[in-house]
């Protein structure tokens, strides 16, 4: 892990609503369409160390490409001494690593911003932990032999589309130092099965600790370059307040904690009902900047906080389980919240931090609960 901290943001106040942002609380049919293609994780799935396949969130910018494992090649070229073209059989024959890794979309929390940046309207559910199987990237880059003037690697997916009127392949870059880290893998397996189409089959990049956009799916090409890559998917993932601002890049995952909503839900509102008594609240917390240091819980809407008990993560890149015993001794309507802090001192704000892309809104989750007298059977 790193001991660095994410950039700080400011909160938008009294200003004009920029293009691509909605001042209305109503979600459009276009946003609904996106949210059906790109589903979130059911929050009760926080109970599993490894998110069952199909409950892990999905984010696909364009279409799932029509890929064929038998004829797939990964090419490694650009500023390298020995360009490579690896088949899937060759990649599978290399040393394999299996590692649980928590992945989160940088846009998680976007739909809770006011005004709301128009894009995939995530609430808090764009997260999951998969057990990924693959092979480390660094030895492949070493075999290809990066030239001394190479500064970045560009990773290209097989999917293509148009975003903000710009047609492009899905492509992202990493610095040579970030790409050479031990935990960066090329993965072909998920939860003990072959990688599924929606998660990038036959091959994807996995960059543990980073927001999901870095983990390029349907990976066909790696290109070593001498210039910083400025493709669409690099330019759009930046923290900025104004469109013409340079901003700073979105990189690692900011700390967040989520709670399994307790009791039973109301169908439409997802508001919870719990009976008077003691309840063990459970959740998970994660950060891509440093290990999780603590989780605090509030059972009074954020007025007071107390420490939760932390369990052990399944890997340094997987979420940490936590529990908190709550004595709900009288009927009340309240909000349950939790807040994670990592070892670098990064924590979650109470108020949403606004930016034009709607990235990294890690303001605390709020679960509305009605505590009631136990209902007679
Ligand atoms: N080729 C390609 N890779 C991609 C994407 C994409 O649209 N195309 N989406 C990215 C984003 S924004 C996220 S959050 C993760 C989501 O990974 P998942 O769908 O396996 O959860 O994949 C990333 N890799
Ligand atoms: Mo994402």
The per-residue pLDDT for range 274-333, each reduced to its tens digit, is 999 999 999 999 999 999 999 999 999 999 999 999 999 999 999 999 999 999 999 999
Give yes or no: residues 204 and 156 share one domain. yes
CA–centroid distance, residue 212 to ligand 2 (Å): 5
User: What phi, psi does 87 have (nearest 5°)?
Assistant: -85, 170
Q: Please say whether the dihedral angle defined by the alpha carbons of residues 79, 82, 83 and 87, taken in this order, is positive or negative.
A: negative
The Cα–Cα gap between 165 and 162 comes to 6
The DSSP result for 173-236, as a single string, is: EEEHHHHTSTT-EEEEEETTEEPPGGGTTT-EEE-TTB-GGGS-SSEEEEEEESS----HHHHS
Give the model's confidence band at 10: pLDDT under 50 very low, under 70 low, under 90 confident, else very high: very low
Percent of the chain residues past pLDDT 70, beyond the cut: 95
The Cα–Cα gap between 171 and 228 comes to 13
Count of structural domains, the chain: 2
The CA distances from residue 337 to 57, 228, 302, in Å, are 22, 41, 6
CA–centroid distance, residue 58 to ligand 1 (Å): 7
Domain membership of residue 300 as a residue range? 256-372
Give yes or no: residues 159 and 200 share one domain. yes
Give the model's confidence band at 18: pLDDT under 50 very low, under 70 low, under 90 confident, else very high: confident
Domain final position from 214, 249, 284: 249
Binding site membership of 61 for ligand 1 (Cβ less than 6 Å) = yes
The per-residue pLDDT for range 207-238, each reduced to its tens digit, is 999 999 999 999 999 999 999 999 999 999 99
**Cα separation of the two ends of the chain:** 51
Give the nearest ligand 1 atom to 56 CA.
21
Binding site membership of 60 for ligand 1 (Cβ less than 6 Å) = yes
Binding site membership of 206 for ligand 1 (Cβ less than 6 Å) = no
Domain final position from 228, 249, 270: 249
The reported pLDDT for the residue numbered 337 is 98
Give yes or no: residues 272 and 183 share one domain. no
Binding site membership of 324 for ligand 1 (Cβ less than 6 Å) = no
Domain final position from 230, 249, 268: 249
Ligand nearest, relative to CA of residue 212: 1
Give yes or no: residues 228 and 272 share one domain. no
Q: Which residue lies with its CA nearest to atom 5 of ligand 1?
A: 60
């Amino acid at each position: 892990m790193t001991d660095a901290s994410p950039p700080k943001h400011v909160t938008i106040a009294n200003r004009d609503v920029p293009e691509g942002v909605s001042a209305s609380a109503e979600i459009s049919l276009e946003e609904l369409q996106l949210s059906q293609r790109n589903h979130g994780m059911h929050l009760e799935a926080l109970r599993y160390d490894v998110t069952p396949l199909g409950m892990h969130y999905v984010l696909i910018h364009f279409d799932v490409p029509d890929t064929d494992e038998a004829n797939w090649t990964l090419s490694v070229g650009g500023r390298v001494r020995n360009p490579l073209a690896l088949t899937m059989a060759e990649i599978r024959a290399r040393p394999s690593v299996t590692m649980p890794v928590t992945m989160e979309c940088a846009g998680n929390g976007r739909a809770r911003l006011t005004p709301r940046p128009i894009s995939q309207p995530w609430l808090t559910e764009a997260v999951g932990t998969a057990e990924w199987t693959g092979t480390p990237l660094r030895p492949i880059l070493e075999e290809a032999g990066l030239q001394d003037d190479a500064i970045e690697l560009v990773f290209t997916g097989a999917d293509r589309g148009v975003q903000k009127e710009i047609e492009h392949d899905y492509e992202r870059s990493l610095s040579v130092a970030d790409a050479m880290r031990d935990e960066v893998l090329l993965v072909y397996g998920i939860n003990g099965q072959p990688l599924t189409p929606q998660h990038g089959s036959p091959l994807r990049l996995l960059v543990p600790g980073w927001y999901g956009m870095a983990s390029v799916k349907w990976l066909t090409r790696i290109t070593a370059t001498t210039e910083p890559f400025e493709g669409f998917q690099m330019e759009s993932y930046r923290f900025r307040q104004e469109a013409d601002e340079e901003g700073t890049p979105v990189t690692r995952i900011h700390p967040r904690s989520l709670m399994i909503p307790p009791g039973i839900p109301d169908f439409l509102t997802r508001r919870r009902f719990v009976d008077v008594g003691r309840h063990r609240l459970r959740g998970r917390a994660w950060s891509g900047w440093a290990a999780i240091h603590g989780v605090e819980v509030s059972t009074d809407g954020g007025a007071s906080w107390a420490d939760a008990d932390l369990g052990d993560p399944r890997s340094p890149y997987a979420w940490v389980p936590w529990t908190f015993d709550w004595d709900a001794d009288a009927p009340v309507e309240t909000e349950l919240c939790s807040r994670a802090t990592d070892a670098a001192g990064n924590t979650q704000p109470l108020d949403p931090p606004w930016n034009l892309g709607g990235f990294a809104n890690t303001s605390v989750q709020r679960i509305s609960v009605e505590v009631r007298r136990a209902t007679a059977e």
